[in-house]
Every structure is written in structure tokens, then in C-alpha cells.
Amino acid sequence: MTQRINTVLSIPEPRTAALIDKPYPVITSGFVIVEVAIAPVCNEARIYRDHQFEWHDSPTHLGHEGVGTIVETAPGSRFDAGDRVIVFQGNSCQKCFVCTQGLSPTHCLGIPYEGHTDGMAPQDVTAGLLGIERVNGSKSGGFGMVQFRIAPEHMIVRLPDDLRFEHAAAGNCTLGPSFTACEEFGVGAGDVVLVGGVGFIGLGAVANALYRGATVIVLGRHQYRMDLCRTLGVHAIIDPADPDWLQQVHAVTGDRKGADVAFECSGAPYYLERCLSGLRRYGKLYSLGHSGSERYSLSILNDLMDRHIFWTGGHDVRFRDRDGLLRMMGDAAVQRSIDTIVTHDLPMSRAAEAFEAGLSKNCGKIFLRPGS
Ligand SMILES: [Zn+2]
Ligand SMILES: [Zn+2]
């Protein structure tokens, strides 16, 4: 009998991507095997360039987003083979206060962020993706850029029959984190939302804010991406290098003198600074982008207290927001936005081309198809 294999994406060295064969996954109770239809590209283009991995990635363990069809369940599963699902990232503990209050799984206490300075051993963190392979005793499948993926049952949600994979795949890092950000900040009609540092996360933030009826101002200057913003229907695009960029923001926000909410989507100090300045008093800043563990300095008095700014950040979708996110992705206008944001859809065998497109910035979101 021929051994079943799993095709897995690898980035063995900078600017090289290859498909490798690993043993087909094995699962234990509480997990399913999903045949991945779409594995969206997130931080992997940067990894392809720098070969610097986050604590949960490695050269043969890449990707955390995805949608697909269940091909195998463990005994006692509440899912069936044939179910179409979205896979949310990680393997949270389901016991801590974050998990039991329906908050975001990437903040689960099972992930010892506070131990970062001591160095983390990712395979020991069961709440992370490498931990998925360890707890299942599997040699593959814990990650997104694979043909067959192991998913914890509490991290998958069945897709409505009429929601296509191409739209559902935006529920991970494209629309997901900014959906939760909009919920946390209560973004609605009448709000002015400033979006700075626009890549696919920023494009997703724009789509979320427009869906809620907010007025959207984009701070950006990359031509290709500004064209995407224009197609999405933003109300204003302001070049952050213009000497009067702040006056241009105030021209939109009127006598409040600043946006109600800012989504900073790059982590670049340049945009952070402008997002903070572009907020009104009592405005709220949500960081959706970062540049690793780099620090950022600000004046507690001038930047936060005097202007009474609220600032937080996050990486993913709260458990409690999954239902609303899926319903939003069923909306026809949101689906048109997703069709605009997703600019590349390539077989995983052409991953290098996909990552080069990502690095060029002449793209929105990029999808990979592991089965081809
Ligand atoms: Zn992602
Ligand atoms: Zn937890």
C-alpha cells in the first residue's frame, strides 16, 4: 500500500519556496483533518524575504489562515467529513478567563507572552500551532500552508452553504481582526475612521468600517493600494507626506478636529504618529500591525493624557465575534469588497511568485491553493 503524504510549503532559505512531502497527519479526539481549499498569505512574504520566524513558525511550519473541507474526524466529533469550514488560528486552552469569556484565542493564557524575554520553546506551547502537531503525535498538518491541516474543533466554524470559500477565506486576517476592532470600539454610522499603513489588513479595516456606515479616511500613498481603496469607496485619501495632511483630516472631521477611531495597520512609527495625531480628543487607536518587538516612544502627558486617547491592539477574532463576522461575509457589498481586496489567487506550487507579489506591494490579499 502506498503511504499517504501531505504536501507542505517550506521556505528553506531566503527567497526560496518549495513544496515538500511529509507523512499524512494523524489526529486525536477534539481535532479534525481539513483538506485546505485556500491558504491565504499573511506574514509569510516577509518570512520569505527575511527568513526571520515568529515564535510559532519555522521553515517547514508556515501559515495560519485557511478554509477547506473536513476529510476526517476523530470519534465523538461534532463535525462530519464533507463539512466546509473556516479555521481560526491557534489552539487555545478553552479554560482560562480569555477563552471562557469569548475573547481572542491569541491572548489565551496558554501562550506565555510574558516569557518572551526568556525565550519560548514553541513546541511546548500547546496553545500555539506547533503544539497542535505535538498533542496529536503528528508529523505534519499543524499549520495553514499544507494540503491536509489538523484543526482543533473549537477553532473551526462551519460555513453557510451559500458562502463561497473565496469569500470565507477573508474571515482570517483580512477582515477578522478589524471586525473585532470595530466591535470593541463600537464603530458605526456617523463615525469618522482613519486607516493608516494600508496593506491587506488596512484594506480589511476599510471594508469593515464601510460596512458599518462609517466615513473612511485613508492615510497612504502607494498607488496600487490607493487605487484599491478608491474602488472600495473610501471617502478621502490623504497623502501623509503632504505638509497639510492634518488639516485635510480636519476638513473631513469638522469641529471635532480629528477622527473618532484610527486603525494603524503597519506598525511603522511613521503611521502610528500620524494616526495618534489624526485622532480627536477621546479618540481611540487600534494597532493592527506591528514590526516585531520594536519599541515605540510617546509622551504620556502630551500624546495620551492631555488628549485622552484610548489605545489597544490585537491580532485576531474574538470567539464571540465569529458569528457576526460570518454573517457580514454573506453581505453582497462585503463580498464585492473581498473580490477587490483579493488580487492574486495562485496554486501553492507558485508560492514564490505569490510572495514576490506580496513584497512588491502591488497586491491586496493573496490566496494560495494547496491542492494545485
Ligand atoms: Zn494571518
Ligand atoms: Zn485559554
Q: What is the pLDDT of residues 248-262, one digit of tens each?
A: 999 999 999 999 999
Say if CB 304 and CB 280 are below 8 A apart. Answer: no
Amino acid 165 reads F
Q: Using the mean position of ligand 2's atoms as its centre, give its distance from the Cα of residue 107 in Å.
A: 7
Q: What is the pLDDT of residue 116?
A: 61
CA 184 to ligand 2 center in whole angstroms: 19
300 C-alpha to center of ligand 2: Å? 32
Q: For residue 216, what are the domain limits?
A: 176-313
Asked which of 313, 329, 344 is the last residue of a domain, the reply is: 313
Question: Of the bound ligands, which one is closest to the alpha carbon of residue 98?
Answer: 2
Closest listed ligand to the CA of 111: 2
pLDDT given at position 127 = 75
| Same-domain pairing of 36 and 154 | yes
pLDDT at 311: 98
Total count of domains within the chain: 2
- Cβ atoms within 10 Å, residue 50: 11
pTM over 0.75: yes
Domain boundary among 313, 329, 351: 313
Residue 117 has pLDDT above 70, yes or no: no
CA distance 353 to 359: 10
Share of the chain above pLDDT 90, in %: 89
CA of 319 to the centre of ligand 2 (A): 11
Are residues 191 and 160 part of one domain? no
CB 238 within 8 A of CB 355: no
Query: Distance between the two ends of the chain, CA-based, in angstroms?
Result: 24
Give yes or no: residues 181 and 299 share one domain. yes
- 172 CA to centre of ligand 1 in angstroms: 6
* pLDDT, tens digit (0-9, with 9 covering 90-100), for 224-281: 999 999 999 999 999 999 999 999 999 999 999 999 999 999 999 999 999 999 999 9
Q: Could you give the CA distance from residue 317 to residue 342 in angstroms, rounded to a whole number?
A: 20
Tens digits of per-residue pLDDT, 50-79?
998 877 788 999 999 999 999 999 999 999
Regarding whether 348 and 221 lie in a shared domain, the answer is no
CA of 97 to the centre of ligand 2 (A): 7
Same-domain pairing of 26 and 50: yes
Q: How far, in Å, is the centroid of ligand 1 from the Cα of 43?
A: 6
CA distances, 333 to each of 6, 193, 328, 364 (Å): 37, 19, 9, 17
* pLDDT (tens digit per residue) in 134-165: 999 999 999 999 999 999 999 999 999 999 99
Last residue of a domain, one of 267, 296, 313: 313
Q: Within a 10 A sphere around the Cβ of 84, how many other Cβ atoms? A: 18
CA of 103 to the centre of ligand 2 (A): 9
Distance CA 345, CA 350 (A): 10
Taking the centre of ligand 1 as the mean of its atom positions, its distance from the CA of residue 143, in whole angstroms, is 12
| The pLDDT value given to residue 2 | 66
Are 276 and 346 contained in the same domain?
no
Q: Which ligand is nearest to the CA of 128?
A: 2
Does an H or E element contain 219, and which? strand 215-219
- Report how far residue 327's alpha carbon sits from residue 126's, in angstroms, rounded to the nearest whole number: 30
Cα separation, 300 vs 307, in Å, equals 10
Q: Which ligand is nearest to the CA of 154?
A: 2
Q: What is the CATH number of the domain that holds 48?
A: 3.90.180.10
Same domain, 327 and 271: no
Q: Is the pLDDT of residue 33 over 80?
A: yes
| Ramachandran quadrant class, 170 (left: phi over 0; alpha: psi -120 to 50; beta: rest) | alpha
Cα separation, 70 vs 101, in Å, equals 27
| 298 and 351 assigned to the same domain | no
Ligand at minimal distance from the CA of 62 is 1
Report whether pLDDT(124) > 70. Answer: no
* Separation of CA 179 and ligand 2 centre (Å): 21
> Does residue 128 surpass a pLDDT of 90?
no
For residue 326, the CA-to-ligand 1 centroid distance in Å is: 17
**Are residues 71 and 150 located together in one domain of the fold?**
yes
Across all residues in the chain, what is the average pLDDT?
95
Q: Are residues 309 and 333 in the same domain?
A: no
H-helix segments, the chain: 44-50, 97-100, 129-136, 165-168, 176-185, 200-211, 223-232, 245-253, 269-277, 322-329, 332-341, 351-360
Q: Is 49 or 120 the better-scoring residue by pLDDT?
A: 49
User: Please, which pLDDT band fits residue 122 given cuts at 50, 70 and 90?
Assistant: low
CATH number at residue 185: 3.40.50.720
Q: Are residues 165 and 180 in the same domain?
A: no
Same domain, 184 and 126: no
